[in-house]
Amino acid sequence: MKAVQIRELTAEELTRQLDECRREAFNLRLQQQTGQLENTGRIRQVRRDIARLETETAARARAKQG
């Protein structure tokens, strides 16, 4: 997910997307531990998406405060 796409999301969509990414990261880690994960690069992509979503959430919180 690109930063531009994240900025267009509403607060509710941002929270929902963050939850989905965290669930996906958990499932990918489980697959990796059991040897079922084929696309190991996906873990990195999801981690970066989570970071982007959290960054946007924090930026919106700072903007709201002042």
Helix (H), strand (E), coil (C) string for the chain = CCHHHHHCCCHHHHHHHHHHHHHHHHHHHHHHHHCCCCCCHHHHHHHHHHHHHHHHHHHHHHHHHC
Task: Give the residue from 29, 1, 32 showing the smallest Cα distance to 17.
Answer: 1
Return the CATH class of domain 3-65: mainly alpha
Dump pLDDT digits (tens) for 22-51.
Answer: 999 999 999 999 999 999 999 999 999 999
Ranges of each domain in the chain? 3-65
pLDDT band per the 50, 70, 90 thresholds, residue 1: confident
62 residue type, one letter: R
The whole-number pLDDT of residue 66 equals 81
